[in-house]
């Protein structure tokens, strides 16, 4: 039975990869720092958890043990992280490093974490220019993509059989910041309307963790040194994302499609509001034999069900999503109520 080691295997992407490989008959070991993050379902399916800090060389080596047919790193953020991974990657049948589409820049040097959104001429291919590598704080808007580039280069230049995957906005069960919560919460609160800035036309390509997992399984069978985009087979707009979630929850709301002049402040804000759109070209993955697990509307259902069930019984989890203020501006009901009241309408369903 082939063995896979998934570093950061208790998280959103790592958990989906572990599930997929277990179903395909792999023996799967996952690591993380906090045993409390090990999903019960993953343990029940046969994954083994080892507590190991990704930045501690000895713990990393101990988790690797005598070797792995597939090594997947979901916690590689810097060149230093990549250098620690190298001896393991060189001793693996195939290795996968999860990078990000945040590495890409447009012809003005803008990237997905810039103040000004990038303007790509069309679907972004893997040959699109990237940020310059850097070792400034990776946990910053300028540092995240630049450090990922530095990490990618260490691995790709080494000659090891490393596939770099570049996902976009990831959705699935188990994320620490589940963006779709902004629509699920509204349904649970029985809000009468959903507000969408710029008519909800913005697109920032979603990547189902289940689709990333399908691509990992594909590349495991064809080890190589390459970069691949990893996003859903479709690229829905913010309006289509809201609609898919409402349909799955069998809820009807009025869509308030705000034009450009009304799309200021928090009203209608959503995480997919990129105009022009950010879409990843998936040709290279397809040519390797990758078959996605499903489109956005299909793959998002598991996450939506998980969010609903958390809302009905896991207050600590919900509090953790709300704790850093990310959702405050996305769930600004007061601003929406004012908008409706000014037009003589009630916020009650
Ligand atoms: N989520 C997105 O939208 C997105 C988009 C593009 C790219 N990515 C990339 O995808 C990768 C995985 O993201 P994710 O969303 O799956 O993250 P996640 O849900 O936060 O999971 C991260 C995993 O890594 C582990 N981890 C973090 N730091 C660690 C350390 N120092 N040592 C050992 N384990 C560590 C976590 O467990 P513990 O906390 O218990 O250690 C957890 O298992 C990241 O590299 C990220 O940059 C994510």
Q: Sketch the domain layout of the chain as residue ranges.
A: 175-204+235-281+294-338
Specify the pLDDT at position 262. Answer: 85
Q: Is the CB of 100 under 6 A from ligand 1?
A: yes
Q: Is the CB of 169 under 6 A from ligand 1?
A: yes
Please give the Cα distance from 132 to 36 (Å, whole number): 37
Tokens of 209: 């963790």
Residue with tokens 């902004």: 182
Q: Are 233 and 314 in contact (CB under 8 A)?
A: no
Q: Are 75 and 54 in contact (CB under 8 A)?
A: yes
User: Which DSSP string do the residues of 290-322 spell out, in sequence order?
Assistant: ---S--HHHHHHHHHHHHHHHHTT-HHHHHHHH
Q: What is the CB neighbour count within 10 angstroms for residue 316?
A: 7
Q: What is the CB neighbour count within 10 angstroms for residue 278?
A: 26
Q: Is the CB of 32 under 6 A from ligand 1?
A: yes
Q: Is the CB of 74 under 6 A from ligand 1?
A: yes
**pLDDT 10s digit of each residue in the chain, 349 long?**
999 999 999 999 999 999 999 999 999 999 999 999 999 999 999 999 999 999 999 999 999 999 999 999 999 999 999 999 999 999 999 999 999 999 999 999 999 999 999 999 999 999 999 999 999 999 999 999 999 999 999 999 999 999 999 999 999 999 899 999 999 999 999 999 999 999 999 999 999 999 999 999 999 999 999 999 999 999 999 999 999 999 999 999 999 999 988 877 899 999 999 999 999 999 999 999 999 999 999 999 999 999 999 999 999 999 999 999 999 999 999 999 999 999 887 766 6
Specify the pLDDT at position 306. Answer: 97
Among protein residues, the one with the nearest Cα to ligand 1's atom 12 is 74
Residue with tokens 């799955």: 248
Dihedral sign for Cα atoms in the order 298, 301, 221, 285: positive
Whose CA is closest to 180, among 191, 166, 169? 169
């Amino acid at each position: 039975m082939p063995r896979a080691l998934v570093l950061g295997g208790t998280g959103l992407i790592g958990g989906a990869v572990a599930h997929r490989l277990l179903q395909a008959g792999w023996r799967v070991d996952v690591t993380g720092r906090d045993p409390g993050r090990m999903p019960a379902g993953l343990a029940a399916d046969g994954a083994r958890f080892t507590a190991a800090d990704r930045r501690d060389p000895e713990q990393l080596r101990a988790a690797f043990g005598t070797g792995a047919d597939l090594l997947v790193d979901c916690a590689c953020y810097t060149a230093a992280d990549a250098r620690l991974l190298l001896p393991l990657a060189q001793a693996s049948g195939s290795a996968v490093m999860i990078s990000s589409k945040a590495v890409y820049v447009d012809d003005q040097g803008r990237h997905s974490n810039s103040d000004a959104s990038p303007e790509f001429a069309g679907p972004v291919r893997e040959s699109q220019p990237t940020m310059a590598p850097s070792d400034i704080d990776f946990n910053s808007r300028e540092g995240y993509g630049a450090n990922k580039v530095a990490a990618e280069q260490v691995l790709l230049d080494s000659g090891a059989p490393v596939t770099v995957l570049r996902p976009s906005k990831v959705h699935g069960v188990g994320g620490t910041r589940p963006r779709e919560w902004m629509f699920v919460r509204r349904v649970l609160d029985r809000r009468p309307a959903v507000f969408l800035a710029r008519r909800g036309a913005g697109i920032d390509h979603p990547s189902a963790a289940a689709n990333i997992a399908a691509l990992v399984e594909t590349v495991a069978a064809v080890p190589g040194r390459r970069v691949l985009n990893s996003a859903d087979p479709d690229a829905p707009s913010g309006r289509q994302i809201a609609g898919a979630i409402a349909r799955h929850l069998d809820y009807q709301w009025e869509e308030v499609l705000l034009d450009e002049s009304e799309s200021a402040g928090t009203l209608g804000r959503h995480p997919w509001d990129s105009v022009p759109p950010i879409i990843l070209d998936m040709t290279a993955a397809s040519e390797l034999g990758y078959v996605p697990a499903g489109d956005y509307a299909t793959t998002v259902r598991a996450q939506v069900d998980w969010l609903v069930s958390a809302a009905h019984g896991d207050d600590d989890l919900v509090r953790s999503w709300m704790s850093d203020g990310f959702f405050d501006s996305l769930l600004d009901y007061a601003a929406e109520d004012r908008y409706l009241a000014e037009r003589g309408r009630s916020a009650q369903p």
